[in-house]
Amino acid sequence: MKIFRLDTLSRYFYYETKHPEEEYMDLRELEKKARMYIQLETGEEFRREVEELLEREDWEALNDRFFADLEFGTGGMRGIIGGGFFRMNPLMVRRATQGLANYILSQGLKDPSVAIAYDSRRYSRVFAREAALVLCGNGIKTYLFKDLRPTPELSFTVRHLGTTAGIVITASHNPPQYNGYKVYWSDGGQVVPPHDKGIIEEVRKVTSEIRSMPEEEALARGLLTYIGEEVDRAYFDAVRRQVIRPDLFKEHGGEVSVVYTPLHGTGRMPVETVLRGFGIDVFTVPEQAEPDGDFPTVEYPNPEEASALELALSYARKRKADVVMATDPDSDRLGIAVPDGHDYVLITGNQLGALLADYIFSSKKEMGSLPERPAFVKSIVTTNLQRKIVESYGVECHEVLTGFKYFAAKIREFEEKGGPQYVFGTEESYGFLVGTDVRDKDAVSASILTVEMTLYHRVQGKTLLQRLEELYRQHGYFEEILTTKTFPGEKGIQVMRGIMERLRNDPPLAFGDLKVVEIRDYLDGTTLYLPSGERKKNIDLPSSNVLQFVLEDGSVVSARPSGTEPKIKFYASCTSPVKDSLEEAKREVKEKLEVVQRQIDGWIPA
């Protein structure tokens, strides 16, 4: 076993959020930290990077890497890959894993274990191996995938193998220079209180030593086990069980054509395996089929971005595909496009969630397979069209904060209380989860259900867009916009805090001609009712810095600083009933969105 001493490093770990452009540390202190890092880092490339910066006396670049510590927060750890304490590298991964190991061991569990998966990003395999060997060095049994796997499969694996925790090395759909580290607990969901805060505290305490173990020793002692095909089979079986109409594929599976892109990520193997297993004609974009952490064909490997689907759409036009699908690098988000006349249109996360909710609950109701108390879960910033749809089928609609860790917590709450029974859940940012075998958003299961839904409506003589229009006519037209503004560094934090304080102290009472009737403050769990001024503490969710303004027509405007990035997000969902003309309702909603957008723009400092 190897022990990495950090005794002299304890005073070099900082937790303030400063920005390198705003504050430079003393050059001697900076050089001292850089040389300390070189002594501790086991990754030769990362050491060499810092050594070269010292040789060139590039103090600005060094300051950018050492002005603070890459903090382990409630969402795990995410940062730019490189040498330094404010970068993702083997040292910071080992330190985070030692903290996780300390927390696991503090729980007094018998035979603790951890499962680890990783995506196609640069150094993901290296970081996963480093984490595994630290866990082994602490006597914790570790199951490491021998090749890259999607995030939802890791969530499944934690439950399937019964491990204490899980780790995924991924930065999801961030640009290629990033990587990250997410932690899951024994239920298969990302960690939530009290575990998240307990792990954070232990990571911050790691200033004395990091215990690791050579791979050969870990394998010989049975502490390290490589996993793969057996878990794959179990996961694929779980995904297949979510299919509602398997006979539909037997009779018509060859009638639907799919163009798919994994965007250089983990999705190709699982998505192709599942879809082809049902006889689906899947064409995978060849230029984006192979895993590549540089994501050379896209600016951002994000299926929410139209530019990420350009190559797939070019093939879809040639092949006249019925649906175009894209998954992000760790295959937890799914984006789609469908034909509309002579070209294709992108379906938003809100729209796809509405279509899937309609298909899943209508089908299960028709076939008599809905549980006695079925439940649907959505995030608080996801369209209320979905609420209207599921309630029309007699399904309970529950809301959670943004982030699928809260979906997993809600499922666990349902199970502990003996009901209701979770069936399906969505969030606007292209996340979908059907069933409870997985406890995170799952693009693999979402992909087969999307194809099943497409095929079902095709057999009925409809397209997805036509079904969506039917839903609008029944429940009202809904449209959403998202405004995101980045404010980096300590100054940025103050700007975002100022925006939220102004909205709390001097909230908007109207958006154009539409009056605000409720102001929901998720920080203190209260709702202010207007115009009476009555305030009730009636929001039973964890405290979160989110404000929501509910308008008299049912439209909703939300403000939420990101918990993982230096961004603030404004969500607007406007609605209008469809009386005679759907086009007229669309026009009314677009006018409302323009008014809301102008007001939001006024909240943001120049």
pLDDT for 206-234, tens place per residue?
987 899 999 999 999 999 999 999 999 99
pLDDT in tens, 147-205: 999 999 999 999 999 999 999 999 998 899 999 999 999 999 999 999 999 999 999 99
In the predicted model, what is the mean pLDDT of residues 307-321? 97
- CB-based burial label for 404 (10 Å; 0-12, 13-18, 19+): buried
pLDDT in tens, 366-381: 999 999 999 999 999 9
Contacts 24+ apart (CB under 8 A), 373-378: 373/419, 373/420, 373/421, 374/420, 374/421, 374/423, 375/414, 375/420, 375/421, 375/422, 375/423, 376/423, 376/424, 376/425, 377/407, 377/410, 377/411, 377/422, 377/424, 377/425, 378/353, 378/425, 378/426, 378/427
In the predicted model, what is the mean pLDDT of residues 115-134? 99
pLDDT in tens, 352-366: 999 999 999 999 999
pLDDT in tens, 461-473: 999 999 999 999 9
pLDDT band with cut points at 50, 70 and 90 for residue 562:
confident
The domains found in the chain, sorted by start residue, are 2-227 (3.40.120.10), 237-266+277-348 (3.40.120.10), 350-475 (3.40.120.10), 477-603 (3.30.310)
Dig out the tokens for 26 from the structure. 């003393």
**Is the distance from CB of 135 to CB of 217 less than 8 angstroms?**
no
Residue 582 has pLDDT above 70, yes or no: yes
Mean pLDDT of the chain: 94
- Encode 163-201 in three state secondary structure: CCEEEEECCCCCCCCEEEEEEEECCCCECCCCHHHHHHH
Q: Which residue has the higher pLDDT, 14 or 336?
A: 336
Q: What is the pLDDT of residue 493?
A: 85
Selected catalytic residue, list 120, 155, 172, 363: 172
User: Is 363 a residue of the active site?
Assistant: no
Residue of 194, 198, 199 lying closest to 182 (CA atoms): 199
pLDDT band with cut points at 50, 70 and 90 for residue 518:
very high
Residue 25 has pLDDT above 80, yes or no: no
Question: Residues for the chain: how many in total?
Answer: 606
Residue of 424, 402, 401 lying closest to 411 (CA atoms): 424
Alpha carbon of residue 225 to chain centroid: 28
Q: How far apart are CA 395 and CA 372, in angstroms?
A: 10
Q: How far apart are CA 592 and CA 580, in angstroms?
A: 19
Residue 507 has pLDDT above 50, yes or no: yes
- CB-based burial label for 257 (10 Å; 0-12, 13-18, 19+): middle
Per-residue DSSP letters for 409-429? Answer: HHHHHHHHHT--EEEEEEETT
Model pTM?
A: 0.94
